[in-house]
Structure 1
Amino acid sequence: MKSILITGASSGIGRAAAETFLEDGWRVGAIARRADRLEELAATSENVVALPADVTDAKAMEDVFTRFSKIAGRLDVLFNNAGMFGPAGPINELTVEDFEQVLNVNVRGMFICARLAFEQMRNQTPQGGRIINNGSLSAHNPRPGSICYTTSKHAITGMTRSLSLDGRPFDIACSQIDIGNARTEMVADLTARAAREHPEEPPMPSMDVADAARSVLHMANMPPEANVQFMTVMATKMPYIGRG
C-alpha cells in the first residue's frame, strides 16, 4: 500500500486530498492542528493515521514523521499543503508580526516538513519518493493586498526548484501545484472580503475542491521516472492571465 503524509488535512484542499487518496487505496497520514477534525476523518477509514501537530513545531513534526514511517513502513509522498493567507492590505497597513506569522506557516512550516520527508526518502529502501508543494497562483501573479501571502508563495517556488535539483541523486522528485479559487474556507473568506469591498462586482469564479485534489493524486501517481514539475489548476473564468 502506497503512503502519503498530508499537512493541513483537517479542511480545504488537504481534507479533499486525504479523501481522494483514501478512495485510491493509499494509507494517509493526516496532519493538522485540529485533532477533532482528524479523528472525524480517521473514523471513515482504517487507512487514516490521525497526526495532530503544528507544522511550525519542528520537534512535534519530527515525532509525527517517525510515527507514520513506523506504521506505514515507508513514505512515498508528502503533500506539503498547510498554509494561511494572513492579513490583507497594502504594506503600510500591515505589521511586521503579520508578515512573520504568514512566513512562519507558509515557508518555515513547509521547510520543516520537506526536510523531514527528504531525510526519510533518502534513507529508506528502496530509496526515493515524491514531495508535492502547494504553491498558488500568487506564486506567479499576486492578488491586490496580498504581499505577505504572495511573498511566501514565491519562496515556495524557489524551495520546489531547489528540492528538485537536490533530490535527483536520491530519486526524490519534487513538484508544485498552483491552485486557483478552489472552494475552501480560505477562498470563502476572500470571496466575502471582495463582496464587501466591491459589492457591484459578480462573485469570484471558483471550482470544486475535489478537482484540485484529483490533480494532486495524478501528480502522486506518476511513475518514478516521470514528474509533473509544475501544475496550474484553476477556476476557468478567474482573472489569472493578465490580472495584476
Structure 2
Amino acid sequence: MNAVVRIAVVTGAGSGIGRSVALELARAGQDTATSSTVRPKWALALAGRRNESLEETAALIRDVRPDADVLCVPTDVTDPDAVSALFTTVRERYGRLDLLFNNAGTFGPGGIRFEDLEFSAWRKVVDTNLNGAFLCAQAAFRQMKDQDPQGGRIINNGSVSAHAPRPNSAPYTATKHALTGLTKSLSLDGRPYSIACGQIDIGNAATEMTGAMQSGVLQANGELAPEPVMDAADVARTVRHMAELPLEANVQFVTVMATNMPFIGRG
C-alpha cells in the first residue's frame, strides 16, 4: 500500500518544538505496509532564521527516514518578502501545500516589569509571534485557496499563556491571546475553501527556551520555584494527529502540558 505524499511547512524548525514536529512528521508513513489505514508521507520544508540549525534538523530527519524529501529555507518570519519567498519556493518545488505548522516564536525579555518594558522589546515579540504568524498564515491560506484540489490545514502554536499569564510576560501573553483570535478567524474564513485551522497550546515542553524552568522561575505569589517539564515528542505526536485528520475534521484547540505544572489554578 503506497503512502500519500503531503507537503508541510514547519517554521521555527531549527530547534525545539519545530524540530520535534518535523521529526515526527518524517516518521509518518513508515507503518503503511502493516496498517489498513493509508497514512501520509510528508515532504518537509523547514523554515527558520539560521540555515545551520535547519540543516541539523534535516540531517536528523534523514537519520529517521533516509528517503525523506527535505527542503531548508532560511526565513525571517517578520520580513514579508522573506515569507513570500518561502512559500514561492515551496510552490515551485512541490506544486501545492497541505500543512503549515505556524510555530516560530520568542519569549522575549524575561524578568522585566511591565512599567520598565521598552517599546522595542515589546515590538520584537509582537513582530515574531503575531505578525510573523499572520504573514505565514496568509501566504499559506492564499496557496491553499488557489491550488487544485483546494484546501489544507494550518496549525498555530499557541501556549498555555493564551489562557493565563506568567508574571512579567505582557508581550508574550498578549501575542498568544491574539493568536487565539487569529486561529478562530482563519477557521471561519477558511471554511469555503476546505482550509482547516487549529491551535495547540503547550505548557512546559523541554526545549532550549524552557531550560530555566527546572532550576526555578518566578511564580504568581512572587516566589521562585522549579517547574516540571515534559518531552517535546509528546507535543509532536499531538501535532501529527491534528495534521493527519481529514479536512472534514479539525482539532480546534488542544492543550498539552506537563501534568504537574502550575497552570491549572495559576495565580
Q: Quick one: which amino acid aligns to residue 40 of structure 1?
A: E
1:64 paired to 2:83: no
In the alignment, which residue of structure 2 is the partner of 1:206? 229
**Residue 173 (structure 2) aligned to one of 130, 138, 150:** 150
Question: Conserved in 1, the CA contact under 8 Å of 2:14 and 2:53?
Answer: yes
Contact map agreement 1:41 1:48 (CA 8 A) in 2? no
Tell me if 1:170 matches 2:186.
Answer: no
Between 36-45 and 93-102, report the one with greater CA deviation. Answer: 36-45
Superposition TM-score, scaled by structure 1 size: 0.95
Tell me the distance in 2 between the aligned counterparts of 1:193 and 1:87.
17
What CA distance in whole angstroms lies between the structure 2 residues aligned with 1:192 and 1:147? 22
Q: Residues 83-162 of structure 1: matches in 2 within 5 Å?
A: 83-88=105-110, 89-162=112-185
Q: What residue number does 1:32 align with?
A: 48
Instruction: Specify the alignment match of 1:14 in structure 2.
Output: 18
The CA deviation at 1:191 is 4.3
Q: Is the 8 A contact 1:179 1:234 kept in 2?
A: yes
Contact 2:15 2:57 in 1 (8 A): no
Q: TM-score, normalised by structure 2?
A: 0.87
- Name the Cα RMSD after superposition: 1.5
Distance in 1, Cα, partners of 2:77 & 2:223: 35
- 1:80 counterpart residue number: 102
Runs of 4+ in 1 over 4 A off after TM superposition: 190-193
| Contact 2:214–2:229, Cα closer than 8 Å, also in 1 | no
- Counterpart CA distance in 1 for 2:233 and 2:74 is 23
Letter in 1 for 2:15: S
Contact conserved, 2:122 with 2:171, CA < 8 A, in 1?
yes
Q: Is the Cα–Cα contact under 8 Å of residues 29 and 50 in structure 1 kept in the other structure?
A: yes
Q: Equivalent residue of 2:150, what SS? A: coil
CA contact (8 A) 1:22 1:47 kept: no
Cα deviation code 1:21-73 (max 9, x no counterpart): 11113111100011011122223434110011101111111111111122222
Cα separation, 1, equivalents of 2:98 and 2:141:
11
2-structure distance, mates of 1:227, 1:8: 23
Aligned partners of 1:121 and 1:172 also within 8 Å: yes
Offset of residue 193 of structure 1? 5.8
Q: Is the 8 A contact 1:127 1:170 kept in 2?
A: yes
Q: Is the 8 A contact 1:5 1:79 kept in 2?
A: yes
Deviations 1:184-217 (A, max 9, x none): 111114545628x956x3x211100000011110
- For residue 243 of structure 1, report the CA deviation from its aligned partner: 0.1
- Unaligned ranges ≥5, structure 1: none
Q: Is the 8 A contact 1:6 1:81 kept in 2?
A: yes
* Residue of structure 2 in register with 1:48 after alignment: 70
| In 1: Cα distance, 2:215 partner to 2:261 partner | 16
Distance in 2 (CA, whole Å) between partners of 1:99 and 1:40 is 30
1:90 Cα deviation after fit: 2.2
5+ residue gaps, structure 2? 29-40, 63-67
